[in-house]
Structure 1
């Protein structure tokens, strides 16, 4: 069975989303840190912390030797399974919740064609939407595509029961037949690459007095469906830097405002990410949804000061995530009314529809 191929712009001319190598970005940031006087230590894992004293205990991955480091301020940028956050919860009863979603993921690779050519359009994010599960592909500079299968842990069309070569190949032949032609070593990749879980971290507050605070995934780890996890962490840094200037050395006031103002945006990027998961796996195959996006695009072009599509708002502006989520839900409610219009599939380009939208904004 063959489906339909559709192409949807996610921004205006000149707006592009770049897929950046995390390894190369890490190297660049380490070089910049060293240029600014930082000393880097590798293979040291934070295993404990005394938050009031800004002390952290590290264990060497090779020797198992432990050492306690004393600092003026302890910033927990230690990821979704943060040791610093763990101590905030343990020592100060901070609110903490980890919600693992019902889907897992596995990465696969479409190799480059002859002479490093791309076998699919390199200027697009490719999605095979299948309702409860989906496959996506992102182009790499070497001609290959990094692909990710997102599917339920159990039940129909899930990772459950995909163990033998026959089971895996039959699954892809049935659900993504065009993909199998692009990956000659599918089963070898399937066995080699891990199946990993996805989850959301929520905690509060994000700080202890003037001695310690959380940034990035340690404070608000999210699912990857908006590609905004790292951006949200960088935004934490930008806002923290602005607040340090604002409070002129008063770290307690700075950390309090940081925690209070960033928490809604941590929640916001998580809500946006889960919402976009549904859009990607389900709605991108819905003709009514595609029409709705066309209507939104036309209205945004006519009245750019009245309407910025949600995806553009998140990806191409500094609109706070919490504001973008709130505005996006209002837009969705309004578009439900517009889509109820009689013969909308024929009348959507009319002035009447645009004026109706203008009256609802």
Structure 2
């Protein structure tokens, strides 16, 4: 990798040691960023090495890679490699109850998001990190405790033996149930909250048909059913990963294969021949419905030697496809701050919290909202109309009016600014539409009365029913 040849650091700074807790997507990408900067990097991952593991455990919801994530990958020279393994999705394909489909574009013809496989992306990032001579990857080694006072990590190996390490900077990328964050919880004025939404998810598969995709591959397919929904994302092997999202009590009502089949006949009839009757009956009971959590906390740094990133700082529900992208953006924002402050973590860490906390809280809220949009609003004619209006105005005034989804997915406008700008745009557009509607009504009335017979008197006008019974 060409990016390894010129780390942006002095000889003295090369001795700085960084411990990254968690070897998932954000941890592995962070290892590349810090290694590129010339630091000595050690990654501690509780699971076995995903690059050699036969059975990959953990979440398998397909990921949607968009602009923010791509910019972070580009900064370490990996964008093209990852993009080449993704499948472009240029919009949503809506499946009605009758099986009729209609598409809603995400933006312009050139704008699309990428369906990427979580496990393959994690392998790619870990392999990239391992190519740096100043990176050491430790697998099946779990953080047992982190002492901020002593600046010591206690790590437990797979054989239950423990050892202690001391680092100049600890980066907690260990997920929604972060061990690193537990140290933060002991500190005064640390705000933390988490919410389990009342809906769970379950994954099913649409296999290839005659060696090709069974549906149009360049869309995110959605079966919106108001209180629940199913989505499907394409995979490299020509299959689709389907994810059914609905309230836990609805999952629990379906206790037999026949009940599952009847449920799908009622709500997702066109998916049955795609999934297969027997596969549907079996796969539904393969694993119970999984929970989804949203985590908010503040701040993201502890002193000048520990920082949280990714799900450890801001786990979000998956409905905006921004969980990974927000985590990757953490990496590039921190890297940009390290450039700005010349690797001075005493300035970088507080500034990172100041910048990212409001943004990550904003995307957490947007992700919650987008679930309602995906399962319900896409069925609304007003929603479709507003999409066309927003896109038309964006085409006419590309810098003044930018649709909410475009700002979130295809720019790096800060998330909290996206919400502010979207609210302002909605007020302006709704006002214009209201004025136009009122003007059309007045104009119509004027034209109607203008063409009435001159001999028509008031009594005749009152008696005229204008075609209404």
Length-normalised TM-score, structure 2: 0.70
Residue 173 of structure 1: SS of its match in structure 2? helix
1:41 aligns with 2:138: yes
5 Å-filtered alignment, 1:3-152, equals 4-36=100-132, 37-60=134-157, 62-92=158-188, 94-115=190-211, 117-152=212-247
1:256 aligned residue: 350
The aligned length equals: 341
- Cα shift at 1:172: 1.1
1:188 aligns with 2:282: yes
Larger relative contact order (Cα-Cα within 8 Å, sequence gap ≥ 6): 2
CA distance in 2, matches of 1:160, 1:336: 42
- Cα shift at 1:342: 6.8
Mapped contact 1:94–1:204 kept (Cα < 8 A): yes
- Among 311, 319, 322, the residue aligned to 2:413: 319
5 Å-filtered alignment, 1:218-297, equals 218-297=312-391
Mapped contact 1:52–1:211 kept (Cα < 8 A): no
1:167 aligned residue: 259
Q: What stretches of structure 2 of length at least 5 have no aligned partner?
A: 1-96, 442-469
- Cα shift at 1:268: 1.3
- Cα shift at 1:93: 5.3
- Cα shift at 1:160: 2.2
- Cα shift at 1:65: 2.1
92-101 or 72-81, larger mean C-alpha shift: 92-101
Residue 7 of structure 1: SS of its match in structure 2? strand
CA distance in 1, matches of 2:397, 2:236: 37
Mapped contact 1:104–1:153 kept (Cα < 8 A): yes
CA distance in 1, matches of 2:435, 2:287: 48
5 Å-filtered alignment, 1:340-351, equals 340=434
Mapped contact 1:47–1:83 kept (Cα < 8 A): yes
CA distance in 2, matches of 1:343, 1:287: 17
Q: C-alpha offsets along residues 171-212 of structure 1, whole Å, 9 cap, x if unaligned?
A: 111111111121111021111134111111011111111111
Mapped contact 2:248–2:289 kept (Cα < 8 A): no
50-59 or 296-305, larger mean C-alpha shift: 50-59
CA distance in 2, matches of 1:102, 1:341: 40
- Among 159, 177, 182, the residue aligned to 2:269: 177
Length-normalised TM-score, structure 1: 0.89
| Change beyond 3 A, Cα 1:264–1:294 | same
- Cα shift at 1:251: 1.5
| Change beyond 3 A, Cα 1:248–1:87 | same
CA distance in 2, matches of 1:329, 1:119: 39
2:296 aligned residue: 202
- Cα shift at 1:233: 0.9
Q: C-alpha offsets along residues 19-71 of structure 1, whole Å, 9 cap, x if unaligned?
A: 112222212221222222200011122221112333222223x3222222211
Q: C-alpha offsets along residues 316-355 of structure 1, whole Å, 9 cap, x if unaligned?
A: 11111111122123333344445546769x99xxxxxxxx
CA distance in 2, matches of 1:93, 1:190: 44
Residue 235 of structure 1: SS of its match in structure 2? helix
Residue 401 of structure 2: SS of its match in structure 1? coil
CA distance in 1, matches of 2:287, 2:223: 20
| Change beyond 3 A, Cα 1:162–1:340 | farther
1:356 aligned residue: none
Q: Compute the RMSD of aligned alpha carbons.
A: 1.9
| Change beyond 3 A, Cα 1:343–1:178 | farther
Mapped contact 1:109–1:144 kept (Cα < 8 A): yes
- Cα shift at 1:249: 3.6
| Change beyond 3 A, Cα 1:338–1:171 | farther
CA distance in 2, matches of 1:140, 1:315: 21
